[in-house]
Chains A and B, each alone.
Chain A
Amino acid sequence: MSQQEHSEEKMLIVRAKRGDTKAFESLVRKYQKPIYYLCYRMTGAHQAADDLSQDVFIKAYFALSHFKEEMIFFAWIRKIAVNRAINYLKVWKREKSMGGDEMRVSRNPDASPQEMPEETYQRKQMVKTFKQALQELSAEQRAIFILKVYENQSYEQIAMTLNIPQGTVMSRLSRARQKLKNAMADYLQGGSR
């Protein structure tokens, strides 16, 4: 991020804090994609990701007063997104275990096959298996894995985002990778057992 961009963003935040929805809108436009994809990876379904990312921005708008000058806006909003996603998944899991019929997250990513028409069958299968495996992880494990692999965060950053010790990040990530690796054994050449 260039210096100019940085100060521009700061200006937008200051304006948004004053209640300028236009300024906030530009901020949303800037970060909607990464936040949406983060939510999508966390929930594994478009509808849930859509709801969640909308919710994250709305929450962020009302929490802007808590945003400090020295913080990085994307890191801040990502923290909101990850924690809300974990929350969401836990609630969803509880509802599911309680027999709630609210199946907002599709357990079968194949339900929207038109989303990947150009992919070969094998790749489709692989993606499906991967998503399935990702869904099998606990919400925290998934969050850590996603933050590490897709967001390329350091353990320290992940620990701060999730308010857990670094050692926990390390052990959970190791376990998450182990699980995923076992699930994906068929698609990994060298690491198959």
Chain B
Amino acid sequence: MRHKKIKDLLSAYLDGELDAKQTRIVADHLSTCAECQQEYTGLKQLDTLSKDILPIPKDEEYWEDFPSRIKSGIEKSPPEAQTEEGKMFTDSFIKPDKNIGVKAVVFPLSVTAHVAIALLMIIFPLLKPGNVPQVEVYSAFLAPPPPPPPPPPPPAKRRSQARTRTRIKPVQAQTTIKPGQLVAPVEIPDEIAEEELSDIGIEGGVEGGVEGGVVGGVLGGIVGGVLGGVVGEVEAPVRAVGEIKPPRLVKRVDPTYPEIARQARVEGVVIVEATTDIYGRVQRVKVLRSIPLLDQSAIDAVRQWVYEPMVINGRPRGVIFTVTVRFQLK
């Protein structure tokens, strides 16, 4: 290991540039190491050989001419180069500044400056959000081409039927069924089921929509739309297409413009499909046209909206329709 190190020192040893201690070490080593001795001789010979190789001397004519050519060169130099020569001259030493001390100071500074600028660029817009964005909301009810004429339900008939039934039932209950008295059934068994429940059914059906709904629902299962219709059984919401006009908005809540979307300057239109229940409250909201940053805000807002209940054929129905929420930055 020592040997390799000393081999590197041989060049300096040859030039007599080593300090006393190193010189002694190298000299000691040289006296014992044949390889280093050979190396040292080689270096010495190289120097001699190099000094021996001289550039080809130029003739006198060349040297006579030399200064005058420089003179003309000086005269030819542009005047601005002459004045600026001092600075240019220092630059012409292309030895790049290898001052690590300066670098050590400048580099962290530079990094800090870059980070500061980057942070500024991120934080500044956050602190100053700019204009208040405007959210424009409107419900658009997409009207497809007129659908085929709806099957004409005979509302009058059904209603009268329902009325007659309901009117009849109490009569039946009053006349044929007396508490504690067994009466031979006059009608088919499902009529008995009706009778058993009719006590509640009558009252509920007529007066309380809510309670009746429960009973009616049970009854409705058997009798069909008759009872249910009266007590307001929930039917599948209808789509606001064609003749069915979208309900009127009773309560609306403006969507908030999400902060992140505002920062990102995201604009656009979110189209949602809202489903109201029979009371006109928005029950379900489904996004049809999505803008990921804005969807939630639109859904949250529309969910709080209340519409005028839709009455179709005398019965409240849920409605499905689309609402377009436009998010726009001003």
The reply to whether the CB of B32 lies closer than 8 angstroms to some CB of chain A is no
* Minimum Cβ distance to chain A for residue B155 (Å): 92
For chain B, which range describes its interface: under 10, 10 to 19, 20 to 34, or 35 or more residues?
A: 35 or more
Complex interface: chain B residues within 8 A of A33 (CB): 63
Complex interface: chain B residues within 8 A of A115 (CB): 56
CA–CA, A54 and B63, complex, Å: 12
The reply to whether the CB of B70 lies closer than 8 angstroms to some CB of chain A is yes
Minimal Cβ-Cβ distance residue in A for B18: A170
Q: Is the interface of A mostly helix, strand, loop or mixed?
A: helix
* A41-B55, A181-B42, A181-B46 known; A59 vs B89 contact (CB < 8 Å): yes
- Per-residue 0/1 for A66-88: is the Cβ within 8 Å of any B Cβ (1 yes, 0 no)? 10000000000000100110110
Indicate if the CB atoms of A190 and B38 lie closer than 8 Å.
yes
Cβ 8 A contact of A170, one of B12, B66, B95: B12
Complex interface: chain B residues within 8 A of A37 (CB): 55
The reply to whether the CB of B93 lies closer than 8 angstroms to some CB of chain A is yes
Indicate if the CB atoms of A163 and B95 lie closer than 8 Å.
yes
* A59-B89, A66-B89, A188-B42 known; A155 vs B17 contact (CB < 8 Å): yes
Q: Is the interface of B mostly helix, strand, loop or mixed?
A: helix
The reply to whether the CB of B235 lies closer than 8 angstroms to some CB of chain A is no
Cβ 8 A contact of A184, one of B49, B67, B89: B49
Cβ 8 A contact of B47, one of A61, A127, A149, A192: A149
Indicate if the CB atoms of B89 and A177 lie closer than 8 Å.
no
CA–CA, A29 and B86, complex, Å: 23
- Per-residue 0/1 for B45-61: is the Cβ within 8 Å of any A Cβ (1 yes, 0 no)? 11101110101101000
The reply to whether the CB of B39 lies closer than 8 angstroms to some CB of chain A is yes
Complex interface: chain A residues within 8 A of B9 (CB): 174
Indicate if the CB atoms of A54 and B50 lie closer than 8 Å.
no
CA–CA, A63 and B82, complex, Å: 9
Indicate if the CB atoms of A25 and B67 lie closer than 8 Å.
yes
Indicate if the CB atoms of B38 and A58 lie closer than 8 Å.
no
* A25-B67, A191-B41 known; A180 vs B46 contact (CB < 8 Å): yes
The reply to whether the CB of A189 lies closer than 8 angstroms to some CB of chain B is yes
Complex interface: chain B residues within 8 A of A24 (CB): 71, 74
Minimal Cβ-Cβ distance residue in A for B42: A191
* A28-B66, A190-B45 known; A62 vs B77 contact (CB < 8 Å): yes
- Per-residue 0/1 for B219-240: is the Cβ within 8 Å of any A Cβ (1 yes, 0 no)? 0000000000000000000000
Minimal Cβ-Cβ distance residue in B for A140: B95
Cβ 8 A contact of B55, one of A40, A62, A184, A188: A40
* A62-B77, A181-B46, A188-B42 known; A130 vs B53 contact (CB < 8 Å): yes
Complex interface: chain B residues within 8 A of A192 (CB): 42
Minimal Cβ-Cβ distance residue in B for A182: B42
Cβ 8 A contact of B63, one of A32, A149, A184: A32
Cβ 8 A contact of A180, one of B50, B58, B93: B50
Indicate if the CB atoms of B71 and A25 lie closer than 8 Å.
yes
The reply to whether the CB of B8 lies closer than 8 angstroms to some CB of chain A is yes
The reply to whether the CB of A187 lies closer than 8 angstroms to some CB of chain B is yes
Complex interface: chain A residues within 8 A of B207 (CB): none
* Minimum Cβ distance to chain A for residue B298 (Å): 60
CA–CA, A188 and B58, complex, Å: 29
* A29-B67, A59-B85, A154-B17 known; A187 vs B55 contact (CB < 8 Å): no
Indicate if the CB atoms of A87 and B46 lie closer than 8 Å.
no
The reply to whether the CB of B108 lies closer than 8 angstroms to some CB of chain A is no
For the complex of A and B, the 4 pairs showing the least CB-CB separation, nearest first, are A191-B42, A62-B85, A174-B11, A190-B41
6 CB < 8 A contacts A-B: A54-B66, A54-B69, A83-B94, A130-B53, A155-B17, A180-B50
